[in-house]
């Protein structure tokens, strides 16, 4: 998240002084420079495990419930990908530099939340209380940030970032609890596939919605979806 914070801030600065083509060329050059560092990566050896073991782990009821819940939650990332930038430019009138500052502020809060969760909060709240706090802040922040006043919107975007940071950390710790460590790499990949499909589905649903009814509406609807996941989380934790 620290890398995303720095990247989106530098991206906004670059778009302010350059244009899109030169910004992408610059980013591509930075990616190529990373090749120089790969020779220092340690050699690791994989371990062959039958695919049946992965299927048996992944098709259990707790895992299926978790991935369904996570799929529905990450649909709001599709709403952000298709509508957030357009809302910031049309609804708040932000320039690329202003967008970089706005979103870097949010991502810095996500990063700070992740650190504070691991350092101070982990295990101090009941699972139900934790998920209620995370989903409520994420959902309400997404809805209320659409009011077209810059300070108001930025404050509620920060609240949303707090909720997203908590959900991200809960996702990592849930993976650690649900799967055996010798197969956790493959299962983490399947969880990443789930979040990617959630983002893809959200993009296909919310992109046309924003184009037809305004770029604020996908953010409001996806925020309501996050709030609707609170009772679903209670049902899953009860079982």
Q: What homologous superfamily does CATH list for 51-238?
A: MFS general substrate transporter like domains (1.20.1250.20)
Neighbour tally for 66: CB within 10 Å? 19
Give the pLDDT confidence score for residue 101 in this predicted structure: 94
Q: What is the pLDDT of residues 186-210, one digit of tens each?
A: 888 888 999 999 999 999 999 999 9
- Give the pTM: 0.89
Give the pLDDT confidence score for residue 38 in this predicted structure: 86
Domain boundaries, the chain: 51-238
Among 124, 162, 127, residue whose Cα is nearest residue 141: 162
CA distance 76 to 163: 13
CA distance 29 to 36: 12
């Amino acid at each position: 998240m620290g890398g995303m914070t720095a990247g989106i801030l530098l991206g906004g600065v670059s778009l302010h002084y350059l244009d899109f083509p030169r910004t992408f060329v610059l980013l591509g050059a930075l990616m190529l420079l990373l090749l120089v560092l790969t020779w220092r990566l340690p050699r690791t050896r994989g371990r062959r495990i039958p695919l049946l073991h992965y299927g048996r782990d992944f098709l259990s009821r707790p895992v299926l419930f978790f991935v369904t819940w996570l799929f529905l939650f990450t649909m709001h990332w599709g709403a952000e990908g298709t509508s957030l930038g357009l809302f910031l430019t049309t609804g708040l009138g932000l320039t690329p530099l202003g967008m970089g500052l706005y979103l870097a502020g949010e991502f810095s809060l996500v990063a700070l939340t992740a650190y504070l969760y691991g350092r101070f909060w982990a295990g101090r709240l009941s699972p139900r209380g934790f998920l209620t706090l995370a989903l409520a802040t994420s959902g309400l922040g997404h809805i209320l940030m659409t009011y077209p006043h810059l300070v108001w919107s930025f404050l509620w975007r920060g609240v949303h970032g707090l909720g997203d940071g908590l959900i991200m950390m809960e996702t990592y710790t849930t993976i650690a609890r649900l799967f055996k460590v010798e197969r956790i790499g493959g299962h983490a990949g399947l969880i990443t596939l789930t979040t990617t499909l959630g983002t893809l589905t959200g993009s296909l649903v919310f992109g046309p919605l924003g184009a037809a009814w305004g770029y604020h509406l996908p953010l409001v609807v996806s925020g309501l979806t996050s709030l609707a996941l609170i009772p679903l989380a209670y049902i899953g934790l009860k079982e």
